[in-house]
A = this chain, B = another copy of it.
Amino acid sequence: MNPFTLYNPTKLIFGTGAVSKIAELVPQKARVLLVYGGGSVKKNGSYEQTVKALGKRKVVEFPGIEPNPEYETCLKAVAVIKKHKLDFILALGGGSVIDACKFIAAAALFKGKNPWKILTSYGAEIKAALPIGTVLTIPATGSEMNQNSVISRRATTEKLAFANDLVFPRFSALDPAFTLTLPDRQISNGVVDAFVHVMEQYCTRPSDAPIQDGFSETILRTLVSEGPKALRKKDDLAVRANIMLSATMALNKLICIGVPEDWSTHLIGHEITALYGIDHAQSLAIVLPKLLKYKSSSKGEKIVQLGKNVFGIEPKPKKAAIEKTIGVIAKFFKKMGVGTEFADYNIAGDAAKEVSENIAKHYGAIGENADITPKDVEKILRL
């Protein structure tokens, strides 16, 4: 195990009625920017409950955050904050809305001329941020309990991440009931996204970390068991609660402590989404099985351990166990309705080449051993 720091000050309020608690958690004199996406929050009850909990506080609404939130949209929100002298940001929605709010919170207090530097510095340029709270309606990204954010800039087909402790939400209210009305596609995407989050922190080289491994395997097992149930039984609140908690735990800085991480599936996936506009989880489902296959020599031990502890696959012979485990993961994604091939999404052009060119432009070599070059990315995507 490597040395690590574990720090997560977000207060997570979970369960039926969670939103009512924000009445005490948002400062009484706060001037609030209420940020959301499309109209779904007005259909599932979350908007109504949130507005009620905010009571008589000054609230300015900022709807229209798009999936894969857009830099230009965030800057418009910053202008609204400045115009109305707002001092608290409440995110109502899924990971896109929360990610947008993290960037808005930092950009609102950014002293430099060009807030794009927040992204190109991976958050290092953030010196202050407005406080954020969230009401989560889509379990997927874990953004409700971490300090990460991903922002897109369509004009330049860029999609960049940043992180900074100053953008941890002060609180997040999670009521699984809001997820009962989600379309299948969003449940499926969320389950796949959370599954891949765990894999990026788990499926590297062995590091004698039984606590972290066991926690990761627990989340994976829960997603594999509860995900398909959620598609079958659309009114099962207990299943939704287990999925919602899994997605938060998959990326709240817990399972990564002291272990190597490999975020290359996400980095490659971001480029695919930036280029072709497919859903984030769809891009991950294309990349992960191929990447595991390509890196099965360095990741082999953990793939076998995963196969045994999550899917009950006999660990010997090793080569067969690896193949079988990767096959079962791809099968799980398909069972969740998320295709694992470019062909499933009618992507025109030479994706393998275009994506590897963007990886070269943005990162160079990636992976826990920094041994996945842009050339490797091209080979991976041709598998």
Q: How far is the CA of A222 from the CA of B221 in the complex (A)?
A: 18
User: Given the complex, which residues of B lie within 8 Å of A8, measured CB to CB?
Assistant: 8
Is there a chain B Cβ closer than 8 Å to A327's Cβ? Answer: no
User: Given the complex, which residues of B lie within 8 Å of A215, measured CB to CB?
Assistant: 214-215, 218
Q: How far is the CA of A3 from the CA of B244 in the complex (A)?
A: 13
> Do residues B5 and A14 form an inter-chain contact, with CB atoms below 8 A?
yes
Indicate whether A13 sits within 8 Å of B9 (C-beta atoms), given known contacts A210-B226, A211-B249, A222-B214.
Answer: no
Stretch at the interface among A15-23, A131-139, A147-155, A332-340: A15-23
What is the interface residue range for chain A against chain B?
35 or more
User: Given the complex, which residues of B lie within 8 Å of A5, measured CB to CB?
Assistant: 11-14, 21
Q: Determine how close the nearest CB of chain B comes to the CB of A230; give it in whole angstroms.
A: 14
Is there a chain B Cβ closer than 8 Å to A4's Cβ? Answer: yes
Q: How far is the CA of A213 from the CA of B245 in the complex (A)?
A: 13
A18-35 contact mask (Cβ, 8 Å, vs B): 1 or 0: 100100000000000000
Indicate whether A14 sits within 8 Å of B214 (C-beta atoms), given known contacts A208-B242, A245-B1.
Answer: no
Is there a chain B Cβ closer than 8 Å to A348's Cβ? Answer: no
Is there a chain B Cβ closer than 8 Å to A292's Cβ? Answer: no
Q: Contact residues of A with B, CB < 8 Å?
A: 1-18, 21, 208-211, 213-215, 217-219, 221-222, 225-226, 238, 241-242, 245-246, 249, 254, 257-258
